[in-house]
Amino acid sequence: MNFHLKVWRQKDANSPGRLEDYEARNIPPDASFLEMLDIVNEDLISKGIEPIVFDHDCREGICGMCSLTINGIPHGPSTGTTCQLYMRKFEDGSTIYIEPFRAGPFPVIRDLSVNRSALDRIIQAGGFISERTGSAPDANSIPIPKTIADEAMDAAACIGCGACAAACPNSSAMLFVAAKVSHLNLLPQGKPEKDRRVLSMVEQMDKEGFGGCSNFYQCEAVCPAHIPASFIAKMNRDYLVASIKRTVGVMP
Amino acid sequence: MTLDSKIPAGPLEKKWTTFKNNAKIISPANKRKFEIIVVGSGLAGASAAATLSELGFRVKCFCYQDSPRRAHSIAAQGGINAAKNYQNDGDSVYRLFYDTIKGGDFRAREANVYRLAEVSASIIDQCVAQGVPFAREYGGLLANRSFGGAQVSRTFYARGQTGQQLLLGAYQALCKQISTGGVQMFPRTEMLDLVVVDGHAKGIVVRDLVSGKISAHAADAVLLCTGGYGNVFYLSTNAKGCNVTATYRAYKRGAFFANPCFTQIHPTCIPVSGDYQSKLTLMSESLRNDGRVWVPKRKEDCSKHPSQIPEEDRDYYLERKYPSYGNLAPRDISSRAAKEVCDEGRGVGPGGLGVYLDFSDAIKRLGRKVIEERYGNLFEMYENITGENAYEVPMRIYPAVHYTMGGLWVDYCLMSNLPGLHVLGEANFSDHGANRLGASALMQGLADGYFIIPYTIGEYLTTQFGKKVDPNHPAFQEAVQSIEKFTNRLLSVNGSRSVDSFHRELGLLMWNNCGMARNRKGLEEAIEKIQKLRDEFWKNVRVLGQGDCMNQSLEKAGRVADFLEFAELMCRDALMREESCGGHFRTEYQTPDGEALRNDEEFSFVACWKFEGVNKDPTLIKEPLNYEFIKPTTRSYK
Ligand SMILES: Cc1cc2nc3c(=O)[nH]c(=O)nc-3n(C[C@H](O)[C@H](O)[C@H](O)COP(=O)(O)OP(=O)(O)OC[C@H]3O[C@@H](n4cnc5c(N)ncnc54)[C@H](O)[C@@H]3O)c2cc1C
Ligand code: FES
């Protein structure tokens, strides 16, 4: 297959970027999107042009390192991550636009690579259970209904790629935050810090410059881990309860 | 020279307790004075960094990804073992110990493996308390599944994403410590050298992958938790960035590399489909719980659609050859059996390099819904990659490089021969001998980080009171300068071949000559070719761009330069080991029916290699393996 590529190139965070034209030739339909870029990069290197920088690692759809906005959509026209997108999904001879994830809190580092450390700082604000190594009771001492465990797992499946924020017209990271808040708040082990967690994570999200949710649901549509937007509603409830508790002064 | 493994005296089941009772404790006020560098944020690194920080040490943690949560541990699918005996099926610490040591073909240390089995139960407690959403039964208790090489059900799992959930647990613990200021995190930072001062590991040299800046960090102890080196084969199930750089450069600074030839080829991966391919995808071994492996009995049937091949014309070769373990035979054995049937010309799919993994019986027995619940995401992944629906046609699988049992040598305290340098997780050699059982790597990574290093690091640190090194010590400057020089050298070759083209060529050579089956001739030939390829690399590699900014070709070039030296060490180790054991199969040493022929008389030792210079033969130092408590037997899964 052959494709005409328009690829965002940007030297560093402070330089302006622009779309460059490249040809991708003789691409096997079974190649992944990133393998297509590998082939293009080999060609660029042979011509003495610096290869396109893009983030990736596991290439299995689980580490969340790959990004890319493909034809305007974070992770492109697949239901998973960019690394799990295969070229057979594209029409032979078509033009493909490749840009970085676009969101204010994700500044471009170089070409297609962006800085997503804002997401780490949100987790640092409270996305954990304060348990010290060695202090845990026997794992079966607190039975957890299967439905609860399954729901927590649905939320915990988030791979932290940031596509939700990149897809959202408000650059909101609500789906990311809601997934972590729900995962931990659903479990009995996470209950003691439930209120504190939701308040500080949401506060940090605001501080990082992510916008609020106005129910566009673009996040859910692009999420490669299929995190349902219903978790956002759940988080809003948790947030409301915690805010009231804080206002009336009964926060644990 | 002899190596002291520092194994405590006394009965096997008392060793760890004895050690802990006598371990050197550091007071809280003094802990604050010690600074520890942790390289790596996978299960081993994140759990160690978090726990050491909780204890009060000052920790700096490094990883090359943009976030510690993306370490390669995230990709583990199947599960984690623990001797909980929640299924009441006769499991025990001893049984987990014995299965692991037998699975490793009696090439691991008894004391280490016993300790691993002993702490395994605490890992599950710890993870559940952190909020890891393990699979549960309707009664609300934890569920288990079986894995290869065991006849009990002791594997805990979180759908097909166990590694992800365990790593997120450890990552969250790490985040908690980062938020208190106890851990300073350095993502997108690659360790490129170890700094040794007066024979002690006292720091590292790193490159900031965003700014390109090369700098040194000093500490009282260094922990390498940098994972495995499977990418020496280019194609493997590892993430693209996995490398040998951290451990190999420590080796070049004097740390011994142990058993480098012990690599694991996983039997259930999606077969290679073309030479553009950049990595191989694992299909979790848990699939073998319900899938049946077969190929056609006759070569002529290989091109037929599987549904056209009647039951009596199928060869369920694992069930036939290993009736008691069947489809759950250990990895090395299953991989070799697949290679054998394909070598006979009975493989299926493109190039005849594949075997079927068939779920039709399980679907008949349990219904599609149960299979979906158990493996839904794996089936989806398979369909996405191959375009085939495995509920309707059997999966095609083939072995692929997956895990490396070899690694830096460590003693019972997880310290290498270089004082101060500790090595955890897949990066060390310690617990899996010549073959690792499924679901044991996650267990080992977390055991090392949560439950072992916090107890053992005191043995070294208590000897270091008042011995802080000055970061202006000439050793730091020397190391920084040598890395700057190395980087400039890569950038200035300006040849005509890309880094990837060298890596691919090396990988193919290693797969053919140092892969599933090895022999003297092939290994000698490989060593010669590797040396030539290395020469060519330094004359003809093309790394464009500069060093003072993000430059992914430069990052890759450094890693491939190390693989090109390390590959030779692997071949030398494989050549020296004139026996077959576990994942190391020398065609010259096999039983008449094609099983591995171990030679305990001559090879019951850990092969530790000491660096003597590039293009110079390394020195072999042997750590004898003395089996005090069990008797090595011929490993049989028949
Ligand atoms: C696809 C797959 C599935 C698996 N499934 C299972 C399973 O079901 N059960 C099981 O028990 N095991 C499984 N394993 C094996 C297991 O996942 C690994 O052995 C284990 O997770 C390794 O953990 P680690 O902490 O040692 O290293 P890793 O998780 O690989 O972490 C290495 C860390 O070191 C950092 N690093 C590496 N080099 C450098 C450097 N030079 N400078 C700075 N940082 C560096 C990385 O950034 C990373 O943070 C699987 C492995 C694979 C590949
Ligand atoms: S590279 Fe890991 S999710 Fe795409």
The model's pLDDT over B540-560, given as tens digits with 9 standing for 90+, comes to: 999 999 999 999 999 999 999
**Whether residue A73 has its Cβ less than 6 Å from ligand 2:** no
**Whether residue A229 has its Cβ less than 6 Å from ligand 2:** no
B308 CB within 8 Å of a chain A CB:
no
Would you tell me how many other CB atoms lie within 10 Å of the CB of residue B7?
A: 17
B81 closest CA partner among B421, B431, B367: B431
| Whether residue B613 has pLDDT greater than 80 | yes
Please give the mean pLDDT across all residues of chain B: 95
**Whether residue B381 has its Cβ less than 6 Å from ligand 1:** no
Q: Do B140 and A183 touch (CB under 8 A)?
A: no
Tens of pLDDT, residues B208-256: 999 999 999 999 999 999 999 999 999 999 999 999 999 999 999 999 9
pLDDT at residue number B219: 98
A220 CB within 8 Å of a chain B CB:
no
B158 → chain A, closest CA residue: A153
8 A C-beta contact, residue A144 and residue B136: yes
Q: Which of B66, B168, B544 sits opposite A116 (nearest CB)?
A: B66
CA A224 to chain centre: 8
pLDDT at residue number B548: 96
| Whether residue B78 has pLDDT greater than 90 | no
Contacts of A203 in chain B (CB under 8 A): none
Note the residue count of chain B.
Answer: 638
B37 closest CA partner among B195, B172, B168, B199: B195
Half-sphere exposure of A161 (CA within 13 A, CB side): 36
8 A C-beta contact, residue A33 and residue A85: yes
CA-derived radius of gyration, chain A: 21
CA–centroid distance, residue B90 to ligand 1 (Å): 31
pLDDT at residue number B638: 78
Banded model confidence at residue B330, pLDDT cuts 50, 70, 90:
confident
- Going across the sheet that includes B605-610, the strands are B407-408, B257-258, B605-610, B619-624
CA–centroid distance, residue B42 to ligand 1 (Å): 6
Please, what are the domains in chain B? 266-402 (3.90.700.10)
A116 closest CA partner among A226, A23, A210, A190: A210
Given the structure tokens 């790959």, which residue do they identify? Answer: A66
Q: What is the DSSP letter of B452?
A: I
* DSSP-derived 3-state class of residue A196: helix
pLDDT at residue number A169: 96
The verdict on whether B577 is a catalytic residue reads: no
Angstroms from A111 CA to nearest CA on chain B: 10
8 A C-beta contact, residue B155 and residue B439: yes
Mean pLDDT within A139-153 = 97
Residues 7-66 of A with CB under 8 A from B: 11-12, 27-28, 30-32, 34-35, 38-39, 42, 45-46, 48-51, 53, 55-65
A134 → chain B, closest CA residue: B126
B54 → chain A, closest CA residue: A132
Mean pLDDT within A194-213 = 97
**Whether residue A196 has its Cβ less than 6 Å from ligand 2:** no
| Whether residue B636 has pLDDT greater than 80 | no
A93 CB within 8 Å of a chain B CB:
no
Please, what are the domains in chain A? 3-113 (3.10.20.30), 117-248 (1.10.1060.10)
DSSP code per residue over B272-301: P--TT-----B--GGGGGT-EEEEESSGGG
Tens of pLDDT, residues B562-603: 999 999 999 999 999 999 999 999 999 999 888 899 999 999
Sign of CA dihedral A134, A139, A143, A148: positive
A101 closest CA partner among A124, A118, A84, A122: A118
B571 closest CA partner among B532, B533, B525, B516: B525
Q: Which of B69, B274, B450 sits opposite A30 (nearest CB)?
A: B274
pLDDT at residue number B373: 83
A110 CB within 8 Å of a chain B CB:
yes
B168 → chain A, closest CA residue: A156
**Above pLDDT 90, what percent of chain B?**
89
8 A C-beta contact, residue B301 and residue B312: no
Task: Take residue B342 and report the two structure tokens written for it.
Answer: 């394909």
pLDDT at residue number B104: 95
Among the residue ranges A211-220, B90-99, B146-155, the one predicted with the least confidence is: B146-155
Beta strands in B210-345 (DSSP E): 214-218, 221-224, 257-258, 263-269, 292-296, 314-315
Note the residue count of chain A.
Answer: 252
Q: Which atom number of ligand 2 is nearest to the Cα of residue A59?
A: 1
Tens of pLDDT, residues B501-551: 999 999 999 999 999 999 999 999 999 999 999 999 999 999 999 999 999
CA–centroid distance, residue A74 to ligand 1 (Å): 27
The pTM score is 0.97
C-alpha to C-alpha distance for B449 and A132, rounded to whole angstroms: 13
Tens of pLDDT, residues B13-26: 999 999 999 999 99
**Above pLDDT 90, what percent of chain A?**
97
Q: Which of B210, B239, B384 sits opposite A63 (nearest CB)?
A: B239
| Whether residue A15 has pLDDT greater than 80 | yes
Mean pLDDT within B94-122 = 97
Q: Do A133 and B47 touch (CB under 8 A)?
A: yes
Tens of pLDDT, residues A149-191: 999 999 999 999 999 999 999 999 999 999 999 999 999 999 9
Query: Could you report the predicted ipTM of this complex, rounded to two decimals?
Result: 0.98
pLDDT at residue number A252: 64
pLDDT at residue number B274: 85
What residues form DSSP beta bridges with B195? B203
φ, ψ of residue B350 in degrees (nearest 5):
-55, 130
Plot region of B140 (φ>0 → left; ψ -120 to 50 → alpha; else → beta): left
C-alpha to C-alpha distance for A43 and A51, rounded to whole angstroms: 9
Q: Do A143 and B175 touch (CB under 8 A)?
A: no
Mean pLDDT within B377-393 = 90
Contacts of A125 in chain B (CB under 8 A): 179
| Whether residue B1 has pLDDT greater than 80 | no
**Above pLDDT 70, what percent of chain A?**
100
8 A C-beta contact, residue B133 and residue A156: yes
Tens of pLDDT, residues B127-183: 999 999 999 999 999 999 888 778 899 999 998 899 999 999 999 999 999 999 999
Please tell me which residue in B70, B95, B109, B331 is annotated as part of the active site: B331
pLDDT at residue number A241: 97
